[in-house]
Amino acid sequence: MKTMIKPRKTPTGSRIAILIFLILANSVNIVRAQPRVMEQEIESRIESEEANFRIVRIVEGLQHPWAIAWLPDGRMLVTERPGRMHLIDGESVSELTNLPPIHHEEDQRTAPEGGSQAGLLDVAVHPDFDQNGWIYFTYSSPGDADGVDEERATGTALARAKLNNDGTGLTDLETIYTLIPRTEPGRHYGSRIVFPGDGTVIFSIGDRGLRYPSQDLTHPAGSMIRLMEDGGASPDNPFIEAFPGNLRPEIYSFGHRNNQGMAIDPATGDIWATDHGPSGGDLLYKIEAGNNYGWPQVSYGVEYSTREHIGIGREAPGVTKPAYVWDYSMAPSGLAVYHGEEFPSWHGNILAGSLLQERVYRLVLENGEVTRHEILIPGEIGRIRDVRQGPDGFVYLATDESDGGIYRLEPVD
């Protein structure tokens, strides 16, 4: 004989409270602050080993800003992870139209555990923008996949477009690469973009939280992808002729977990990247063609739940050693190699953002080795998502917050 358990009725007052909560939760993304240009000093003086500076907020009201880039005429592009790109011209902020379909979990209650990292990601202006007008950006592309609900299958994509004549939207939109196979959304999309200056474009794709693709050269996740600027694998990529079979010709390097920082040193042409470890073991290394960076067989971190070390050890034959390791979790983000005149004592230094620690690190390089580091900003403004050197020589930061902003570092005596 089955025992029938009657559902317990929720008191009327509680039901009303829950209803109000759900209405307010669903309205968060409807009523949001609008981006606004400003000039607000946040910190008047921060002393560091080589230079003193102040922090000025120049844009507020951004929802999880992800990347900053500049057009040659000084106008600024800013991406927001929920799928918006803004053009900032003086005191004017315009949301650009005609972006491709972008997957983003607006309601974090329906997102995978830990929240969704999907959305509009990096933006980069082509070095010859004055001649060709191209703007490149990465995003989480929705689509179908075997065994996955097509409304939830996603993959990192690279697109390019031009600004229309009145600067209100994008035109000539081309998606030149999409990760195939797409997988369940949520984690580890990468993704940063650099132009080596040889007619190619390089961008990162995370391992999508699956781990195994990072050592599988038939799967592009967990890799650096190198394409010709109009699409298609560069003909001199390292795995096109080196091995027979169905290796992916677009792969430039592999063994990555989730690179969300990448920058070229304009003085040397070296490509530097930061990679998220699991729990601990965040890395800085130099990207070179054909190199294996080890993940997940070689790592410096541990499992979140069991605290067991991941992989076979911290090094192995054929695996490129990192230039720097954060043993604790700092969650690396934007990256810049500084060569401006505003902070001459930082010349050639790497500036690395941290999401979890809400910091900016200054790493001093000598002969390709990190000899010392300094914490420049220990938590004054929030989660650091992007770090860029502006065309004026100042350092710019974007904060990954629901009410995020753009900040500028200016030298002071």
Quote the pLDDT of residue 350. Answer: 98
Whole-number Å distance between alpha carbons of 206 and 255:
10
Is residue 225 a contact partner of residue 239, using CB atoms and an 8 Å limit?
A: no
Catalytic machinery residues: 188
Closest CA to 261 of 360, 372, 179, 327: 360
Count of H helices and E strands in the chain? 2, 25
What are 177's two structure tokens? Answer: 């690469």
Quote the pLDDT of residue 18. Answer: 39
Q: Is the Cα torsion angle 116, 208, 406, 327 positive or negative in sign? A: positive
Quote the pLDDT of residue 247. Answer: 86
Is residue 342 a contact partner of residue 411, using CB atoms and an 8 Å limit?
A: yes
* Domains along the sequence of the chain with CATH: 64-333 (2.120.10.30)
Closest CA to 336 of 380, 273, 289, 381: 273
- Distance, CA of 228 to chain centre: 21
Whole-number Å distance between alpha carbons of 408 and 102:
29
DSSP state of 107: S
Closest CA to 295 of 273, 277, 272, 269: 277
Under 8 Å CB-to-CB from 102, ≥6 apart: which residues? 83, 119, 120, 139, 140, 141, 142
Angle ∠(337,67,236) on CA atoms, nearest 5: 65
What is the maximum span of the chain, computed from C-alpha positions, in angstroms? 84
DSSP for 18-44? HHHHHHHHHHTTTS-PPPEEEEEEEEE
Is residue 223 a contact partner of residue 184, using CB atoms and an 8 Å limit?
A: no
DSSP state of 361: E
What are 345's two structure tokens? Answer: 């004592």
Per the omega criterion (within 30 degrees of 0), is the bond before 213 cis?
no
Whole-number Å distance between alpha carbons of 160 and 231:
10
Q: Is the Cα torsion angle 191, 196, 289, 366 positive or negative in sign? A: negative
Distance (Å) of CA 191 to CA 203, 235, 386: 6, 23, 12
Q: Does residue 299 sit in helix, strand or coil?
A: coil
Angle ∠(188,175,67) on CA atoms, nearest 5: 50
Closest CA to 340 of 411, 262, 413: 411
Whole-number Å distance between alpha carbons of 110 and 292:
35
Per the omega criterion (within 30 degrees of 0), is the bond before 296 cis?
yes
Q: Is 363 left (phi over 0), alpha (psi -120 to 50) or beta?
A: beta
DSSP state of 16: H
DSSP state of 17: H
Tens digit of pLDDT at every position of the chain (413 positions): 333 333 334 444 544 443 443 344 444 444 567 999 999 999 999 999 999 999 999 999 999 999 999 999 999 999 999 999 999 999 999 999 999 999 987 644 444 444 579 999 999 999 999 999 999 999 999 986 554 555 568 999 999 999 999 999 999 999 999 999 888 868 999 999 999 999 999 999 999 999 999 999 999 999 999 999 999 999 999 998 766 667 899 999 999 999 999 999 999 999 999 999 999 999 999 999 999 999 999 999 999 999 999 999 999 999 999 999 999 999 999 999 999 999 999 999 999 999 999 999 999 999 888 999 999 998 889 999 999 999 999 999 999 999 999 999 999 99
What are 308's two structure tokens? Answer: 């067991």
Quote the pLDDT of residue 3. Answer: 33
Whole-number Å distance between alpha carbons of 260 and 292:
18
Is residue 21 a contact partner of residue 9, using CB atoms and an 8 Å limit?
A: no
Count of Cβ atoms closer than 10 Å to residue 122 Cβ: 26
